[in-house]
A and B are shown apart, each in its own frame.
Chain A
């Protein structure tokens, strides 16, 4: 609960007392400082709103685009148990997208508008989903590394200053940790399987390790939004801090898997109590962000096509709803309340 409500905002606007904006801003800052949650009807700085819309939209888009690399293996999953797990996971991702678009809508934007921006290339999604899934083991590597990185990023977001986003993250993180364990278990099975399966698992980890480290974003000295997001408590930790935490978590897990991480400079640093690791190829990261990754074109094209080819279906649903709501309202103007009662 934040200190300043929308009612107070309206009143302040009507009366226009001297220094009203400053007072609202001071109250907002105090609420954030006191770790209170900002809610949809609360006053907030325009830049805070814009920054949240950008981040939440990008997050929602990542869930939706992120369905593609995994859905790529549904029809080829090698056992019925794995097929069921993978289908359930891709279904969860669509659900996460829905939560996040709803959370973004509390800031006065519409899902359609956000999807249009995604399709026009004006809003981003996570760079990781521009990499291809070439073998079945990639499904496991995505679960272990990509979902693992996402969780490391997202657990602090459960305490984000914006209430609807924080609450969406609580639900999403629970399901994500489940997916991550399943991915780990998939890789473990392959690693302990036939030599060909072990090799498949190692190859997948080799290809997904560095792109996963890039998921934490640019280094702190090159991160455009970081300082402001941390001041607003949208972000709680810097990109480099989270990346380091992720590396430290993964090293013993890789060992337990019987797989190696593809970094000759990776070693324990006793003085820091953390792992040192090699340099990330930021040029590759920039290229992927610019649209030049291996699958950027393919991912966006498929998303646009699904949307365009589905337009007649959405139009039909709208036309049907229009006809039937209108017809029923005309035929029986008094039943709406009764229906409401019946379904309550």
Chain B
């Protein structure tokens, strides 16, 4: 249950953040792409949360301290580079995670086998934009570097083992580092060197300790549902 909640919350929260881009994307093609990724993630979230209980009760009636997503996915969108860096870090993690889950015998194998195809597309999208922004103009290079640096401190948490998720966390971590390093290098960007986690970010999201913007995000997300107790939509 902890496991489905953790993976489901990751997908739910990142989907919500990507949904905030609708009508604000830098090009029409990106309106389509970001909404598409958000929809894939929402689909994954609905399946995972349904393994635990009622998807809407879980999404709309839990308070901030009961959410189990990593802090990375709740980070505000920022500029397009920030959104792409968040997506690069998370999609790379999610693809490696789902690849392992899909090949093993566990409760998530079926879901992971389907989701890994979607996630491979998300990773591809993020990698291509990392290359374009990193190796584009001086301005886009600087913005992309700032974004990968700023989000670096949230990446350690991705590899804190989650109870019930049976994967090799060591190889997940080394695979992630290898993949992300290679993309950043091709994009003429520097791999960040700062801490991967601190006293507050080491597995904190998984324990329900979140960053300040998250509370505001779920206030908006839950407001209407909570205003009409017991209603169907």
Contacts and interface: CB of A to CB of B under 8 A. Distances in A.
A155 to B, nearest CB: 25
A306 B34 CA distance: 14
A75 B137 contact: no
Contact of B225 (A79, A98, A321): A79
B133 A316 contact: yes
Contacts of B132: 316-317, 320-321
B169 interface: no
Contact of A197 (B137, B220, B223, B228): B228
Interface in B35-82: 35-36, 38-39, 42-43, 45-46, 49, 55-56, 59-60, 79-80
A142 interface: no
Nearest to B19: A74
Given A312-B140, A320-B132, A98 B45 contact: no
Contacts of A306: 23-26
Contacts of A90: 22-23, 31, 35
A194 B228 contact: yes
B233 A82 contact: yes
A68 B140 contact: no
B131 A193 contact: no
Interface string A53-92: 0000000000010011001001111111111100110110
A98 B30 CA distance: 11
Contacts of B232: 189, 193
A313 interface: yes
Contacts of B80: 310, 313
A171 to B, nearest CB: 15
A196 interface: yes
Given A80-B46, A80-B59, A193-B232, A91 B221 contact: no
A75 B38 CA distance: 12
Contact of B224 (A84, A136, A194, A321): A136
Quick one: which of A64, A90, A317 has the most chain B CB within 10 A?
A317
Nearest to A64: B28
A135 B45 CA distance: 26
B233 A75 contact: no
26 contacts: A77-B224, A78-B225, A78-B228, A78-B233, A79-B60, A80-B45, A80-B59, A81-B233, A83-B42, A84-B46, A87-B39, A87-B42, A90-B22, A91-B35, A189-B233, A196-B231, A306-B24, A306-B26, A310-B80, A312-B140, A313-B26, A314-B26, A315-B136, A316-B136, A317-B136, A323-B135
Interface of B: 12, 16, 19-20, 22-32, 35-36, 38-39, 42-43, 45-46, 49, 55-56, 59-60, 79-80, 131-133, 135-137, 139-140, 143, 220-221, 223-225, 228, 230-233
Given A91-B31, A190-B233, 18 more contacts: A75-B16, A75-B19, A75-B20, A78-B228, A78-B231, A79-B60, A79-B233, A80-B42, A80-B49, A84-B43, A84-B46, A91-B22, A136-B233, A302-B23, A306-B24, A310-B80, A316-B133, A316-B137
Interface of A: 64, 67-68, 71, 74-84, 87-88, 90-91, 94-95, 97-98, 101, 136, 189-190, 193-194, 196-197, 302, 305-306, 309-321, 323
